[in-house]
Amino acid sequence: MKRANITLDEIYNLLLNTATREWERTQLLKCKSEIENGTNNEQAFSELEYRLRPLAVRNNLTPDVAEFYTKLSGKNQKIESFDLTKHFEKDAPGVERAIFAGGCFWCMVEPFEARPGIIAVISGYTGGQVDNPTYEIVSRGTSGHVEAVEIIYDSKLISYETLVGIYWQLIDPTDDGGQINDRGANYKPIIFVNNDEKKEVANKSRKELEQSRKYSKPIIVPIRNAEKFWPAENYHQDFYKKNRVRYWRIENSRRQYLAYLKVKGWIKRKFSRE
């Protein structure tokens, strides 16, 4: 394998990088320790490449580690980055945006992206006090951010009301401590609105859900004014496409729990009437 010249300084820089995930940091520390204890550099780097490879081939490394892996593996090609062009473009007439927080953003993309009229669904962070938040920062639950999705859509083909209706089907609207297996302030469900019309639609939809008595507990989802949306790291984008098996397991567990809640609500309504 023709490997580019790699130094321990590059390992140190990645270890100090706040965006490096804990699992990645563990592999880097192991490589560093092996070299410091006398292992041949080439052997240690080869072992590191082997450990990182499963995530690299699924485009699931953090950006800087992905770039480092390209050098480590001796390959010239860059790992493909998610196209964020639509997020930064000025919206054309009829193009609008919606932001929903509903727990882990991995499970919030496919249900929207599959609908006609959807231009892009971007995973990211919003609602916090820190600029340029990383996954590590948001995961601590102290920055005020929540994981969310930004949906860019053609309002002539799909309405905001329809998007809100889809959103209710994806979450437990009675849980303010997170969502399903994802616990913490960064997983709270929130609807973010960017104008009064959307606020009115969201409030009406929430009131209808409350009156339906589909759930045995009160609806707690707040409707807040939209704040700056920060796109998440590359490896979080389109997760359902990159890691189908893991996504399917998480999504299946989520669907089963939400179905249980609906049955529980139905039982409560039935006995209330009787």
Active site residues: 104
Phi, psi torsion values for 150, nearest 5 degrees:
-105, 120
**Complete DSSP assignment for 177-234:** SEETTEESGGG--EEEESSHHHHHHHHHHHHHHHHHT-SSS-----EEE---EEEPPG
Tokens for 225?
């004014």
Distance set, CA 144 to CA 47, 121, 130, 139, 175 (Å): 38, 22, 8, 10, 17
Distance CA 253, CA 106 (A): 13
3-class secondary structure, 135: helix
Q: Tell me 103's DSSP state.
A: S
Q: Cβ neighbours of residue 15 under 8 Å, at least 6 residues apart?
A: 25, 28, 29, 32
Of 107, 124, 250, 103, nearest to 177 (Cα)? 103
| One-letter amino acid of 179 | Q
Q: Name residue, tokens 């951010």.
A: 145
